Structure formats: C-alpha cells, structure tokens
Amino acid sequence: MIEFFQSPVTQTVLSALNQGFIVTLELFFITLIGAIPLGLVIAFGSMNRWAPLARPVRWFLHRRQREPGRFSRWLIALRPVSLITRLLVWIVRGTPLILQIIAIYYVPGLVMDGGTPWPRGEAGRMTAVCVAFIINYAFYFSEIYRGGIQGVPSGQQEAGLVLGMTKRQIFFKVTLLQMVKRIVPPMSNEIITLVKDTSLARAIALQEVIWAAESFMKGNQGISGIWWPLMFTAVYYLAFSAIVTMLLGRLEKRLDYFQV
C-alpha cells in the first residue's frame, strides 16, 4: 500500500488530480457565491406583481362603460417581469446544463464580430463555465427560494404589517429566517448535486478533476492506459461532499431552536 503511494506514477497522478480538484473547488465555490444571491433576485422576479396594463385597461373600460372581456382580463392580469422570469426558469431548468455550458462558451464567439468575448485560454473557459453554472444554479435556487418565501404563512406578513413594520423590515426581520429554515434541506440537495455537476465543465475542456483523471487513460506525462485515477476521483468527491453535508447539517441544527 505504502509502496503504491510512493511510486512515481502514483505521485504524478495524484498531483495532477489535486490540481484538477482545485479547479473543481474553485468552480464549486464561485458558483455558490454567485448563484445564492442571484437566485434571490430571480425569485423576486418570478413573484413580481407589476401589472403595467391593469390601470389603463380598467380606466379604458370604465370610460367606455364596458364589462371586461376575456382579452382585457388577460391584459389586466399580465405581469411581464414575472412572465419573462418564469419563461427563463422554464428554459434554464428544461435544458441540460452541459448544453448551456457549450452554448455560453461557443455561441457568442460564433455570432459576434471579432470572435469570442471570453478571455482566451484557460481563464476564459473558467469564466464561461462559472457564468453557465451560476445562471443554471441561480434559476434552480430561485424556485427553492420561491417555495420558501411562499411557504411562510401570510399571517406572519400580516402580523408584521399590523405592528407597523415596513415590507423591508418584515422581509429581513420576520420572513427571511423562516424562509432560510425551510430552504436548507432542499438547498442541501442542490449543493450536493453541484459538487458532482462540476464535472460537466469538461465539455469545454476545463481541466477539472475528471478531465485530469481521464488524461491518464489516453496518455499524459508518459502514463497511459491506467483507469484507477478515474475511479480514484470518487475519493475526492466523497470526501468533499461529506464535508459539505456536515456543514449543512450543522446549519440545519443551528436553526433547530425554533419551529415553523
């Protein structure tokens, strides 16, 4: 066993896997940092009640002394921000992440004059992959947030209102923590999935840990035809998801002091 870990082949492989896993971790953390707040913005977008046509249509009907028909009722109920956001939720959740990665990296360069807007080289790939992951996960998170926000009973909002709180105060002082408590379990699932989804980044040749492992099947640094590195990546993923699971479990426990 010790001999195995001391052999030059193992040393080379492990150092390559370590390098790859650092890329995996970077992608993981950047995605979380970007997607967690962006998801909230999207959640508010999909719950946005702005209905710009309601007033003019009602006014028009009132002037003409007409009852609202089917079309005018549709116009009154039209909420463009919510509509567009939900359309995007559907598109992003309805298409594979791998497709989004490829589209985000290649399509702008194929369409725009002067080529890709991404920086060239490895940094550009990382940036593009991060953007794709942040967008994808933000939309997934937004639906979890939406469920969390709407899951808080309306009585909480009303209790805040009659106590003279502003909507802002109600959100931050009353509903936010209850929402957090509700979303921690589903968010944990998504975050564990994200640990593993990072491997999709190799579609555009981002050199994450799976890519590094596969290179030794093809031949890399004089080592070829060994497949144990690929299997060995499981150790990295398992160890990391164990840490993530533990941290999220702690968070869940810290919120145990109250019940919703």
State yes or no: residue 167 binds another protein (CB under 8 A): yes
Residue nearer to another protein on the CB measure, 148 or 240? 148
Residue nearer to another protein on the CB measure, 21 or 240? 21
Residue of 72, 128, 138, 73 lying closest to 103 (CA atoms) = 128
The least distance separating another protein from the CB of residue 3, rounded to whole angstroms, comes to: 18
- Contact between 141 and 36 (Cβ < 8 Å): yes
Q: With CB under 8 A as the rule, give the number of residues binding another protein.
A: 74
Q: The tokens of 190 are what?
A: 């998504």
State yes or no: residue 14 binds another protein (CB under 8 A): no
Q: Considering only residues 78-137, where is the footprint of another protein by CB under 8 A? A: 80-81, 84-85, 88, 91, 102-103, 105-116, 118, 120-122, 124-125
223 forms bridges with which residues in the sheet? 220
Q: Which of 183, 215, 237, 240 binds another protein (CB under 8 A)?
A: 215
Rg (CA), the chain: 24
State yes or no: residue 207 binds another protein (CB under 8 A): yes
CA distance linking residue 144 with residue 46, whole number of Å: 12
Q: Which of 4, 6, 164, 231 binds another protein (CB under 8 A)?
A: 164
DSSP H stretches of helix in 48-79: 54-64, 70-77
The least distance separating another protein from the CB of residue 232, rounded to whole angstroms, comes to: 16
C-alpha distance across the termini of the chain, in Å: 51
State yes or no: residue 158 binds another protein (CB under 8 A): yes
